[in-house]
Amino acid sequence: MNQFSEFYKLIRTKINAGSIKEMSWVAIGQLANIIFSFIIVKLLSRMGEENYGIYALVITLAVFSGILFYGPLAQGFIRFYYHYLELNHARKFTKLIYKILLFSILIFLLISFISYLVIPLIDHSQPAIFFLLAGVYIITVKINEFFNAVLNLIRKRKENSILQGSEKAFIIMLLFGLIYFKNFMLINVFIILAIVAFFSSSIKFYIFQKYLPDEQKESEVGKPLRLEMRANLIQYITPFLIWGFSGWLQLNSEKWIINGILSTADVGIYAVMMALVNALIIAPNNIISDFSTPIIFKQYSYLMNKKKIKIGYQYIYINILIVFGLTIFSTIITYFWGKELIILISNAGYSKFWYLLPMFCLGTGLFLTGQALTMHGLALNVPK
């Protein structure tokens, strides 16, 4: 009881006009994103179960690249940004991150080009250009998501919310254009998604650079500091590779198993159900994480300050309770109205296995609850 009293006091002392405005922009932006995402799923489902299944498989590859590289890199950047900001080296640390991002773009472009040359020799289901465009889409969308985290880090949530909502709105308009001109093909869909992600990430990059603080000149930053930055980053993000791979296996590999055992059309049906899981659990969890992670890590920026660490731990505990509550709520909602929700965002052809939806919600929610439990170790700089 005393712990809940402390939480209540914490919330009362931390909530003010600025924080309410900030939270409102996050809530409005993410609500708009969820609604727009449903419209996008509704439009994409018109391609048919098989094409939507192929689209879902490409998304799993994008998630794979995010979990194994872009996600850990974003976590490392968020974890150490305020640390180096206090040392007046935030700009230098950011340059290191940019170099890693540029290197990753070149690597993924090479992989995409190799796929363009090799995969059509063994798989004739799609034209060769499809594999190249899918690779470009994966690169642009993950870079865009990286800068979503970056803008949240510097608390530019209003700009981020407007940009994310605008992205979805432009995608919807362009998809309607494809339908109107009877050119609604999977290749064209990936072209649209890649173009929108590219321009959006460019704008976010510009905004971040605008607010990045000035610091010492390049000549005043020694080699030992650069080596320290690399070492801290590598040490912190390496455990995410194992964790990320196991997480991807749990939340995404099943689409490939379904594709191998059943059919691509069944993947499409499953993907539509998981779009609901995303809206009910994953997206709200991401909202909570995007909003709270920079705040939590800021409390842990100086590990000798026990008072601030205690406050950070209380934020983590609140996160865990909220995610678990979302899990229970979503499971109950889909148990009673799962079929109707599936038909609402797609059509009746995708609802044949609706009774599995509550189990998907429960399993995903419990996984994310477990993930939230690890935040204390991450903030203490012990991700192992």
Report the domain count for the chain. 1
- The answer to whether residue 251 scores a pLDDT higher than 50 is yes
The pair of three-digit structure tokens given for residue 195, joined into one six-digit string: 């173009």
Name the packing angle between helices 2-14 and 306-345 (round to 10°).
Answer: 80
**pLDDT per residue over 348-363, tens digit each?**
989 999 999 999 999 9
- The answer to whether residue 242 scores a pLDDT higher than 80 is no
Lowest mean pLDDT among 66-80, 102-116, 238-252: 238-252
d(CA 139, CA 69): 11
Residue 11 lies in a domain: yes
The pair of three-digit structure tokens given for residue 320, joined into one six-digit string: 């865990």
- The answer to whether residue 68 scores a pLDDT higher than 60 is yes
Radius of gyration for the alpha carbons in the chain, expressed in angstroms and rounded: 21
Residue 219 pLDDT? 44
The mean per-residue pLDDT over the stretch 316-323 comes to 84
d(CA 112, CA 118): 10
The mean per-residue pLDDT over the stretch 323-328 comes to 92
**pLDDT per residue over 148-166, tens digit each?**
989 888 878 788 888 988 9
What pLDDT band is residue 114 in, cutting at 50, 70 and 90?
very high
Residue 384 lies in a domain: no
Residue 371 lies in a domain: yes
The pair of three-digit structure tokens given for residue 84, joined into one six-digit string: 């180096």
Domain of residue 283 covers 2-379
What pLDDT band is residue 69 in, cutting at 50, 70 and 90?
confident
The mean per-residue pLDDT over the stretch 93-107 comes to 92
Residue 126 lies in a domain: yes
d(CA 334, CA 277): 9
**pLDDT per residue over 3-35, tens digit each?**
555 545 555 555 566 566 666 777 777 788 888
251, 367 Cβ separation under 8 angstroms: yes
d(CA 297, CA 45): 40
Q: Which residue, chain included where needed, has tokens 């600025």?
A: 18
Q: CA quadruple 302, 304, 310, 313: dihedral positive or negative?
A: positive
Is residue 124 helix, strand or coil?
Answer: coil
Residue 129 pLDDT? 92
Residue 58 lies in a domain: yes
What pLDDT band is residue 215 in, cutting at 50, 70 and 90?
low
More confident site: 269 or 159: 269
Average per-residue pLDDT for the chain: 84
Residue 227 lies in a domain: yes
Residue 259 lies in a domain: yes
The mean per-residue pLDDT over the stretch 232-249 comes to 80
